[in-house]
């Protein structure tokens, strides 16, 4: 069993937010399968008097399917240098076809308050329960951003596409560093 050093999310908010553009990981679990996905679009905040992590997941991703089956996830944040093979596998392969945790050599640690594990190699861990889910309305995004990040059909108004995102707001129910 892994040791855990708990921390206050807001006291470590700077560390968490600075890690996002370089890549953090979202881990999901459903139907006995664990999947980890690299993400670089996310936010941390306070909503409805709760600490939250907001993740944006494309409709086409296996992670979205997993979250829709089990609305819990961990955020796994590197602490210092780590093996970039993790990024190549978790950011470049689909969990539908690959056991990414095995291929990347990740060591799973059982969640404390949710059913989803953390990752020893990415030790800063946020355990989250989804408290809100929203499909993205691309028509509300400024045109320059739409053209850059949603080029599949930037002129459309409100139709759904598998390249659009779903916003998941996860209440952070536990936060710790694995060791």
Q: What angle do CA 55, 57, 61 make, to 5 degrees?
A: 150
Identify whether the C-beta of residue 175 lies closer than 8 Å to the C-beta of residue 127: yes
Average the pLDDT over 139-147 and give the result.
Answer: 86
Instruction: Write the pLDDT tens digit of every residue in 20-41.
Output: 999 999 999 999 999 999 999 8
Q: How many angstroms separate the CA atoms of 165 and 135, rounded?
A: 7
Q: What percent of the chain has pLDDT over 70?
A: 94
DSSP label at residue 116: S
4-178 topology per CATH: Pnp Oxidase; Chain A (2.30.110)
Residue 155's pLDDT band (boundaries 50, 70, 90)? very low
Per-residue confidence (pLDDT) for residue 57, from 0 to 100: 94
Q: How many angstroms separate the CA atoms of 123 and 27, rounded?
A: 13
Identify whether the C-beta of residue 129 lies closer than 8 Å to the C-beta of residue 112: no
Identify whether the C-beta of residue 128 lies closer than 8 Å to the C-beta of residue 176: no
Q: Where are the domains of the chain?
A: 4-178
Q: How many angstroms separate the CA atoms of 88 and 74, rounded?
A: 19
Place of tokens 């206050």: 8
CA 88 to chain centre: 16
Per-residue confidence (pLDDT) for residue 161, from 0 to 100: 57
pTM of the model: 0.90
Q: How many angstroms separate the CA atoms of 162 and 136, rounded?
A: 11
Q: How many angstroms separate the CA atoms of 54 and 134, rounded?
A: 11
Q: How many angstroms separate the CA atoms of 149 and 152, rounded?
A: 9
Residue scoring higher pLDDT (92 or 146)? 92
């Amino acid at each position: 069993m892994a040791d855990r050093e708990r921390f206050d999310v807001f006291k470590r908010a700077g560390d968490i937010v600075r890690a996002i553009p370089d890549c953090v990981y979202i881990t999901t679990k459903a139907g006995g399968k664990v999947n980890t996905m690299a993400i670089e679009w996310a936010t941390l905040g306070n909503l409805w008097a709760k600490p939250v992590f907001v993740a944006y997941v494309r409709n086409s991703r296996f992670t979205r399917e997993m979250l829709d089956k089990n609305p819990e996830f961990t955020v796994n944040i590197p602490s210092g240098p780590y093996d970039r093979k993790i990024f190549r596998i978790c950011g470049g392969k689909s969990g539908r076809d690959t056991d990414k945790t095995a291929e990347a050599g990740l060591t799973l640690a059982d969640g404390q308050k949710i059913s989803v594990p953390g990752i020893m190699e990415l030790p800063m861990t946020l355990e989250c329960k989804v408290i809100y889910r929203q499909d993205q309305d691309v028509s509300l995004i400024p045109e320059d951003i739409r053209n850059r990040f949603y080029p599949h059909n930037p002129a459309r108004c409100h139709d759904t596409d598998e390249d659009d995102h779903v916003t998941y707001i996860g209440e952070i129910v536990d936060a710790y560093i694995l060791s």
